[in-house]
Structure 1
Amino acid sequence: MKNPNSFENQNRAQNREIIVLAHNIRSTHNIGAIIRTSEGFGVSKIIFSGYSPFPILKDENFQKTGRLPHIAQKINSQIHKTALGAEKIIPSEISKDILKTIQDLKNQGFEIFALEQSKKSIFLKDFMAHKNAKIALLLGEEVEGVSKELLDLCDKTIEIPMFGQKESFNVSVATGIALYKIACE
């Protein structure tokens, strides 16, 4: 369904630069949903790292990325099932060293927020970013989440409270919930 106010909403989201860091997410379907959701909330770029699958990049050099073209096509097809073309719209890149990428983003003025449950996390409803803050939202793998090593590099850790019996939301669902809060502030 097309949102008649999408231009207005897009301008609101563009007051803040948001990057998503997708680290060690194994499911192509989760990656596709994260891409589509990120595009919908005006995320400026997605950075894939670790063993996260990623769509075929514009002008991808398969030797440089280490992927065989037929494998990349298969992965791209699986991602497309949930991204529905958003993978062709939102810029993306690959990080071979997530620690360096996080440090580089900090040097560029980004605040790094992990989406994870931890002893130091704050609930999403209590989260407030500075008005024009540049934000990088770090997502971790589906089962183990964001590692302690990466959490220690983050400025804050954001947690979405659970009211049912399960311990956590699916990573793509949690991404959507968090991006809604961040983009609409």
Structure 2
Amino acid sequence: RLSLEEVKRVKRHPVSVLLHNVRSLYNVGSIFRTCDAALCRELILCGFTPHPPRKEIEKTALGAVETVPWRYFPRTNEAIQVLRSEGNKIFALEITDRKRNYTTIEKDDFPLVVVLGNELTGIDQDILNLCDDAIEIPMFGVKHSLNVAVASGIVLFESIRIYRKLFLGEI
């Protein structure tokens, strides 16, 4: 377990999460906590996604607001433009006609930003059009969606597993 000082100095995984118009403060807090556990590079909050300081975020983040680097952009398209200029690939986590499984991330896809959308409406088409690709988690039941915080954890940890295998030789 890293101390607060160590976590500020450690090299983070080259995977970030961008939240586009996520409405639930509790989901945002939960995603902060997952980003901390995964040692992701940063969390980018956009549009009407709530951002710190908010007690509801802190309630589920359990201190992760202090350990996860984060930025807020009022406009998601501007965030994507900045992130792309920093050398990131931008992947939407959304069911689209592209049908790329989230387990197929490759070496050239890093550093990676995973975009997650609103709990009810997903990612707006204009934002999807700005993404380099779209990935999805296969659904097998009646419901064809997961809670945004759950989905972020699945994709974040799988992306990091792939990164560590490809770049660090871990199995």
Identify whether the pair has TM-score above 0.5, normalized to the shorter chain.
yes
Decide which structure has the larger Cα Rg and report it: 1
CA, structure 1 residues 107+33, in 2 after alignment: closer, same or farther (shift >3 Å)?
Answer: same
Q: Which residue of 1 aligns with 2:90?
A: 112
Q: Which residue of 1 aligns with 2:58?
A: 80
**Partner AA of 2:154 in structure 1:** I
- How many Å separate the matches in 2 of 1:101 and 1:132? 18
Higher mean C-alpha displacement, 164-173 vs 16-25: 16-25
Aligned pairs (5 A) from 1:38-117: 38-56=35-53, 76-117=54-95
SS for the counterpart of 1:157 is strand
SS for the counterpart of 2:43 is strand
**Partner AA of 2:72 in structure 1:** I
- How many Å separate the matches in 1 of 2:36 and 2:149? 13
Over the residues paired in the alignment, what is the CA RMSD in angstroms? 2.0
Percent sequence identity is: 36
SS for the counterpart of 1:113 is strand
- How many Å separate the matches in 2 of 1:111 and 1:78? 31
**Partner AA of 1:24 in structure 2:** N
- How many Å separate the matches in 2 of 1:96 and 1:169? 25
SS for the counterpart of 1:19 is strand
**Partner AA of 1:38 in structure 2:** C
Q: Which residue of 2 aligns with 1:181?
A: 158
> Aligned-pair distance for 1:132?
7.7
- How many Å separate the matches in 1 of 2:83 and 2:106? 16
Establish whether residue 158 from structure 1 lines up as the match of residue 135 from structure 2.
yes
> Aligned-pair distance for 1:100?
1.7
SS for the counterpart of 1:99 is helix
CA, structure 1 residues 78+165, in 2 after alignment: closer, same or farther (shift >3 Å)?
Answer: same
> Aligned-pair distance for 1:121?
3.1
- How many Å separate the matches in 2 of 1:129 and 1:86? 28
Q: Which residue of 2 aligns with 1:172?
A: 149
**Partner AA of 1:122 in structure 2:** R
SS for the counterpart of 2:107 is coil
- How many Å separate the matches in 2 of 1:132 and 1:112? 9
> Aligned-pair distance for 1:145?
0.5
| 1:14-52 alpha-carbon deviations (Å, 9 max, x no partner) | 4x4122111100001110111100111111211111111
- For the 8 Å contact 1:24–1:49, the answer to whether it is kept is yes
- For the 8 Å contact 2:14–2:111, the answer to whether it is kept is yes
- How many Å separate the matches in 2 of 1:94 and 1:102? 12
Aligned length: 156
Gaps of 5+ in 1: 57-75
Q: 1:17 aligns with which of 14, 18, 38?
A: 14
